[in-house]
Structures are given as C-alpha cells and as structure tokens.
C-alpha cells in the first residue's frame, strides 16, 4: 500500500501554509479547546438573517424516547407566509465537528447560500448531543428525531414533506447518510436526496487514503481515531458496529434516495467515500460522485474564494436543481 500523499491544489496549499493551526491533530485532551474554537466561530443572528433575506427561530422539540429535547434552528425565506399553499423544499442539515464539537449554527451560512441560490428553501439544522459524553446512538438518534419531527410538522413550517433533503459535512455527512438508512429501515420520512460533503463513514480508519494522509493536512488519521473512539469507545473498528454509527458498515445500500457525495483527493475520507458511492451504484442506486483534485478536508470552508471552491459550490447547485426538477 502506497503512503505517498497526493499533492494539494496550489491555491489550497497556500491556505494551509498560512494557517498551520488547521493541521493540528485532535487528541482527546484537545476536545474542549476544539469546542471553544467552534463556539467562537458561531454565526451571529445578523449573519443568519442575511440582510433580511431569511427569518429564523430556535425551537426545542422532543428528542428520542427517554432522552432530552433537541434544538432545531429553522430558517425561512423572508416574506413567505406560514403555512402557505406553496410549500417549499427544505434542507435538513446535520453539522460537522468530528462527532465531538459544533452546534446547529455550524456551516449554516453555506447552507443558506445554497437555499437562496435555489430560489428560497427552508433550512432546518439539528443540534445533537456530542461524544464522548454522549456516545452512539445519541447523535444519530437525536438527528433522526429532529428529521421525524420536521416531517410531521412540515405543513406548519411551510415545507413540502416529500422534498426534504438531508445535508451534512464531515461527521454530519456520516450522520446524514445514516438517516437515510434509518428512514428506509424504519419506514420513516424518506429524504428526497442526500447531499454529503466529505462524509465520515468508516470507523475502521484503515483505508488507503487514511494511511496516505496520516500526519498530513487537516483531520488526519490520528484525529479520525479520536473522533471515532469518542463515539464508539472500545467498539471502534471491531465487528458488529452499527451502520447507523458508521454507514460504511451497511451490507445493503439498496433503496436509498439519490446521493450527491463530494470529497477531496488529499484527505482521509477519500477512499471510504468513493467506495460508498461505488456500492450505491452496485446496489442499483443513484449517486453522483465528485473527487476534487488536491482538496484537503474542509477546504471549501477554509478557502471560500479559491477557484476549486467555486467549482464545488456550482456542482452542488447543479445537482440540487436536477433532483428538485424531478422530485
């Protein structure tokens, strides 16, 4: 197995050189600091309103049976009455953060950009309990409870129940993939599509790209071990891990909604994400896969003005428009 990492895109390499803290390895001891950094980066109310383009509310809704309530951030295009005869599609968003950090505002500006470009969609973002204090199944069950509540209350929220898309990046992408599996298996609210950005899918942490990127770039193999071991403890990498924790463990990937999956060529998750899309095709499903050359993990957030990030956002938009046109 080769361990030579692929080169970074030239513009992205400059970004990493100027931001060496981006390559810091996450250890269990650094989880509190990671949470502090995430909290400092939370979008403000004004940033969410986007100069009056959106209105928003934070609503506490029932969590899984026997668990605390969960918080949903609900953003609506301004000027659209609720309820409305013209129900809108929605993005149901699951935040990243390696399973150990983040909240329901993480990544929201990017999701609002997409919703606005698509002519005005509702954006719902779930705040799930974090590992290691709350290991599996808490994060995914919280996220599923939020999805089920959103579907049940779709008309009240002005949402078309049949056009709710699950969206997630990194750890949130892994949870979003698990939501599609859970909805299929439980007969729950089936998403209209899955928009997964560099999803965290495989707890075994033993793929070619995980070895290639050990000690290189952002979210390397050691950081990935911290995230998965926080979620699963000593079950990480062992037989019997639930596909609702690690979707790469699923034996059956048939009967799932259309999938868009993107990943950088120079990141830990490349191999598992490519394999997941390939297995969707082998199961007779629909998947669109983009491997962005020279992309490190999370590059579209760290380098928003680069050419490659503009291409990434355009590809997501094209896919969403195609799926919306047929849903």
Task: Evaluate the omega torsion of the peptide bond into residue 137 and state whether it is cis, within 30 degrees of 0.
Answer: yes
Q: Is the dihedral of CA 182, 187, 189, 194 positive or negative?
A: positive
The per-residue pLDDT for range 68-79, each reduced to its tens digit, is 999 999 999 998
Q: Is the pTM of this model over 0.95?
A: yes
Region 217-240 average pLDDT: 97
How far is CA 35 from each of CA 118, 146, 327, rounded to the nearest angstrom? Answer: 32, 22, 38
The per-residue pLDDT for range 80-100, each reduced to its tens digit, is 766 656 899 999 999 999 999
Q: Is the pLDDT of residue 18 over 70?
A: yes
Region 207-227 average pLDDT: 96
Within 10 angstroms of residue 175's Cβ, the number of other Cβ atoms is 29
């Amino acid at each position: 197995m080769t361990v030579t990492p692929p080169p970074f895109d030239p513009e992205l390499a400059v970004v990493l050189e100027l931001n060496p803290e981006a390559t810091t390895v996450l250890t269990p001891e650094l989880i509190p600091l990671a949470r502090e950094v995430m909290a400092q980066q939370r979008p403000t109310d004004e940033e969410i309103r986007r100069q009056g383009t959106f209105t928003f509310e934070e609503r506490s809704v029932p969590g899984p049976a026997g668990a605390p309530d969960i918080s949903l951030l609900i953003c609506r295009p301004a000027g659209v009455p609720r309820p409305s005869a013209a129900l809108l599609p929605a993005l149901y968003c699951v935040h990243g953060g390696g399973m150990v950090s983040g909240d329901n505002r993480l990544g929201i500006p990017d999701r609002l950009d997409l919703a606005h470009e698509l002519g005005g969609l509702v954006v719902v973002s779930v705040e799930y309990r974090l590992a290691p204090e709350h290991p599996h199944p808490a994060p995914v069950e919280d996220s599923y409870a939020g999805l089920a509540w959103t579907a049940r209350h779709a008309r009240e929220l002005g949402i078309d129940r049949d056009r709710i898309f699950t969206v997630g990046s990194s750890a949130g992408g892994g949870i979003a993939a698990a939501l599609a599996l859970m909805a299929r298996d439980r007969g729950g609210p089936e998403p209209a599509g899955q928009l997964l950005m560099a999803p965290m899918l495989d707890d075994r942490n033993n793929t070619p790209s995980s070895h290639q990127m050990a000690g290189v770039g952002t979210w390397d193999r050691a950081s990935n071990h911290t995230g998965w071991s926080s979620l699963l403890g000593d079950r990480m990498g062992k037989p019997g891990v639930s596909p609702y924790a690690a979707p790469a463990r699923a034996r059956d990937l048939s009967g799932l909604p259309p999938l868009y999956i993107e990943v950088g060529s120079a990141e830990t998750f490349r191999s598992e994400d490519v394999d997941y899309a390939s297995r969707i095709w082998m199961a007779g499903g629909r998947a669109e896969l983009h491997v962005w050359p020279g992309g490190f993990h999370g590059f579209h957030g760290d380098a928003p003005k680069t050419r490659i990030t503009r291409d990434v956002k355009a590809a997501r938009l094209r896919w969403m428009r195609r799926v919306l046109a047929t849903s």
